[in-house]
A = this chain, B = another copy of it.
Amino acid sequence: MNRHGGYYGENKDKIIDFSVNINPLGISENIINRVKGSINNLIRYPEIDGITARGIIEENIGIDKEKIILGNGATELIYLFSRAIKADKVLIIQPTFNEYERAFRISGSEVYNFVLTERDSFAVNESNLLNRIKELEPDVLVLCNPNNPTGKFIDYHQLISVFNYINQIDSHIFVDESFIDFTGERNFLLLVDEYSIFILRSMTKFYAIPGIRLGYGIANKGLIKRLNYYKEPWTVNSIALDILTEIFEDKGYAIKTREWLVEEKKFLKEELEKIKNLTVFNSCTNFHLCKLMKHKAEKLKEELLKKGIYIRTCEDFKGLDSRYFRIAVRTQLENKKLINGLRDLL
């Protein structure tokens, strides 16, 4: 399997990494200071039930801490969910993040894909999805929203008939909202009490801390209890637990990030659209899926790397092929380098 996580080759400090969807504003000063202050806590085990950290999340998102579970990154919770649910059949809306499929497969589930196409702008057609679910009766429906790598967002109103049917057959919904903070879009939190839905959140991307490993999940108490039965102890390190206060308190960082994104995404998209032999898809979040008309993305990746730029080819995503690649929105200076590089090569 092609496993990613950014550029780790030669001169890694000099390469501009568009392959990971990390906030380029960097780690906020508040978080950096809190990490420093937290070093002396490394001599203790992390609080085993994470109750203090869950309390901080409760205060900030208005969801009872008994409906929250912490993860060593969002990744732990993808795998934990797949193990706890022990689904026979899982339906994944594709193309999307590859770890869902891997997690369910190694947990013994049969994985089925509902593949969205470029012709439909990678949008979900509700009645087609409902028909597929009626036919398959999966134990879990998996979606990522906004979706990686297409950048598409779906409002839950568009899926209510699907969710109601899933409720009827006692199945579950898994929604990865790892990129929701970048959007102004409505999240799925309102559905937690009505449906057996698991909502996954990540601190990695928006707060630029993929190295620290911190995510959380939200669900009804019964589902959280079931996950806790399988949860391993002490998975979230002390520093990750300690910085939660700073993450939520730093409203300025969040505002600055959204301002940067609105402006830079517009600039980047407009400039990319001027480049020939390249299609750029609309995105609700901080990255763009792109498609080459005449070239292979792998070749482009190699050529860009010579210019100090690294992109994510997408041949390993279901429904995409060797022509697609994904780029994160970065700072204007970096985005300009990418645009110049693409202009030279295409």
CA distance A32 to B240 in the complex (A): 17
Task: Please name all residues of chain B whose beta carbon is closer than 8 Å to the beta carbon of A3 when the two chains form the complex.
Answer: 48-49, 233
Q: In whole Å, how far is A204's beta carbon from the nearest beta carbon of chain B? A: 8
Residues in B with CB closer than 8 Å to A35 are: 39, 42
Main secondary structure of the interface of A (DSSP, over half): loop
Per-residue 0/1 for A318-341: is the Cβ within 8 Å of any B Cβ (1 yes, 0 no)? Answer: 000000000000000000000000
Are A45 and B27 interface neighbours, CB within 8 A? no
Q: Across the interface, do A233 and B75 meet the contact criterion of CB distance under 8 Å? A: yes
Give every chain B residue within 8 A of A73 (Cβ-Cβ).
234-235
A22: interface (CB < 8 Å):
yes
Task: Tell me whether A44 and B210 are in contact in the complex, defined as CB-CB below 8 angstroms, given that A5-B233, A75-B233 are known contacts.
Answer: yes
Does A44 lie within 8 Å of B235, measured CB to CB?
no
- Are the C-beta atoms of B235 and A72 separated by less than 8 Å? yes
A20 within 8 A of B: yes
Q: How far is the CB of A231 from chain B (nearest CB, A)?
A: 9
Q: How far is the CA of A4 from the CA of B73 in the complex (A)?
A: 22
- A106 part of interface (Cβ distance < 8 Å): yes
**Nearest chain B CB to A104's CB is how many angstroms away?**
13
Q: Residue on B with the closest CB to A80?
A: B232
Please indicate the chain B residues that have their CB under 8 angstroms from the CB of A22 in the complex: 43
**A306 contacts partner chain B, Cβ-Cβ < 8 Å:** no
Q: In the complex, A41 Cα to B239 Cα: how many Å?
A: 14
**For the complex, what is the distance from the CA of A42 to the CA of B238, rounded to whole Å?**
14
With A35-B39, A39-B35, A240-B237 known to touch, is A46 a contact of B211 (CB < 8 Å)?
yes
Q: Please provide the chain A residues from 12 to 53 with a CB less than 8 Å away from any CB of chain B in the complex.
A: 20, 22, 26-27, 32, 35-36, 39-49
B42 A209 Cβ-Cβ under 8 A: yes
Over the window 256-277 of chain A, the binary record of Cβ atoms lying under 8 Å from chain B Cβ atoms (1 yes, 0 no) is 0000000000000000000000
Assess the B213–A41 pair: CB atoms within 8 A.
no
- The answer on a CB contact under 8 Å between B45 and A210 is yes
Q: Chain B contacts of A41 at CB under 8 A?
A: 211
Q: How far is the CA of A45 from the CA of B46 in the complex (A)?
A: 21
Is the beta-carbon distance between B235 and A48 smaller than 8 angstroms? no
A31 to B212, CA, bound (A): 17
Assess the B43–A234 pair: CB atoms within 8 A: no
Against B, the Cβ 8 Å flags (1 = close, 0 = not) of A144-184 are 00000000000000000000000000000000000000000
The residues of B that contact A39 with a CB separation of less than 8 Å are 27, 32, 35-36
Q: Which residues of A contact B (CB under 8 A)?
A: 3-6, 8, 20, 22, 26-27, 32, 35-36, 39-49, 72-73, 75-76, 79, 83, 99, 103, 106, 208-213, 229-230, 232-235, 237-240
Beyond the given A41-B211, A212-B238, please list 12 additional residue pairs across the A-B interface where CB-CB is below 8 A.
Answer: A3-B48, A26-B43, A32-B39, A36-B39, A42-B209, A42-B210, A42-B212, A43-B209, A45-B210, A75-B233, A211-B237, A211-B239
11 examples of A-B residue contacts, CB within 8 angstroms = A4-B48, A5-B45, A8-B48, A20-B44, A20-B45, A42-B210, A42-B212, A43-B208, A45-B211, A73-B235, A79-B232
